[in-house]
Amino acid sequence: MRAVQAALLDMGFALLNGADGVHGADTTRALRNFQIHARSMFPDLRSTGALDTTTLRALDALAPARGTRGQSQHVPVPLYDGQPVRVVVALREHRTFLFDPEGKLLDIFPNAAGTVNTPTHRGLKVVRAKLDQVAAEAAGARLWNDRHVFGVRILDLSWANGRHSGEELHGTSAPALLGGDVSHGCVRHANEHIVALYDALSVGDRVAVVETVDDPNLGVPVSVS
C-alpha cells in the first residue's frame, strides 16, 4: 500500500498523512480521483476508490519513476481553444497542473474545488491580481472573519474576456479537505503549493478550468519525454 500511496503522491493526488500504509478515507478518495483520471485509457476502470487489478495496471502505466514527481503519459495539453495556458485545473481529478511558458509540465498539485451548490465554473480564465500573505490574511479577516481561510496567497481570476469571475486560486487553512468538493467556488491548494503557483505566475497568465484532462477544449492528452 505504501508504494501505491507514494505513486499517488508523486502524481499530485492528495494524501494528508503521506504514504502511511493505511487504506483509509484519504487513500480511498485519492484512488477515486486517480480512477476518474485514468478511465479514458482503461475503459474497465471504475471510480470506486478500491485498489483492484485494473487500478494497479493503470498506476503502473501512468505513475512516474519512483522518487520523481509528475506524469509521463496522459498529460493535459496546455492549450485551451488554441490559446496557451500556464495552468490546467482538473476539477473532478482534484489536481492543478503547472506549466512553464514553453508548455513544459513543471508540477502537479492536489486541489479542492467547489461544492455542487457552489461549483467552480469551467472555462478559460486569467490571473487578474496576485495577493501576498498580508493581503490574503486581510481579505480573509474582512470577508470571513478568519485571517487564515485563504491561506498565504491568493491568485484572483477573471474570465478571459475580462469579466470578474468571483473565483480564485488560493491556499487553505484546512489541508485535510484537499481532494474533495468543499469550497464556495474557489480552488484551494496547500499553502506551499499556492506559493509555488504564485511565484511562477504573472498577472495576465491564462488558467484553464476543466472537468478532467480529457476535456475537448484542451485537445488529446499527450505523453511527455
Q: Are residues 85 and 138 in the same domain?
A: yes
Q: Are residues 130 and 46 in the same domain?
A: no
Residue 219 resides in a domain = no
Instruction: Work out the pLDDT band at 13, boundaries 50, 70, 90.
Output: very high
Over residues 119-164, the pLDDT tens digits come to 999 999 999 999 999 999 999 999 999 999 999 999 999 999 999 9
Q: What is the CATH number of the domain that holds 174?
A: 2.40.440.10
| Average pLDDT, integer, range 154-175 | 96
What does the alpha-carbon distance between residue 88 and residue 79 come to, in Å, rounded to a whole number?
A: 9
Amino acid at 170: H
pTM for the model: 0.96
What does the alpha-carbon distance between residue 146 and residue 103 come to, in Å, rounded to a whole number?
A: 37
Residue 162 resides in a domain = yes
Q: Are residues 44 and 108 in the same domain?
A: no
Q: Are residues 89 and 193 in the same domain?
A: yes
Residue 199 resides in a domain = yes
Q: Are residues 111 and 145 in the same domain?
A: yes
Under a CB-based contact definition with an 8 Å cutoff, are residues 13 and 110 in contact? yes
Cα distances from 141 to residues 30, 110, 162, 197, in angstroms, run 32, 25, 27, 23
Residue 70 resides in a domain = no
Instruction: Work out the pLDDT band at 225, boundaries 50, 70, 90.
Output: low
Read off the C-alpha cell for 217.
Answer: 477544449
Under a CB-based contact definition with an 8 Å cutoff, are residues 13 and 30 in contact? yes
**Owning domain of residue 118:** 79-210
If one counts the domains in the chain, the total is 2
Q: Are residues 171 and 91 in the same domain?
A: yes
Q: Are residues 90 and 194 in the same domain?
A: yes
Q: Are residues 178 and 97 in the same domain?
A: yes
Under a CB-based contact definition with an 8 Å cutoff, are residues 159 and 127 in contact? no
User: What are the residues whose beta carbons fall under 8 Å from the beta carbon of 89, sequence distance 6 or more?
Assistant: 95, 96, 97, 111, 113, 120, 169, 187, 207, 208, 209, 210
Q: Are residues 194 and 94 in the same domain?
A: yes
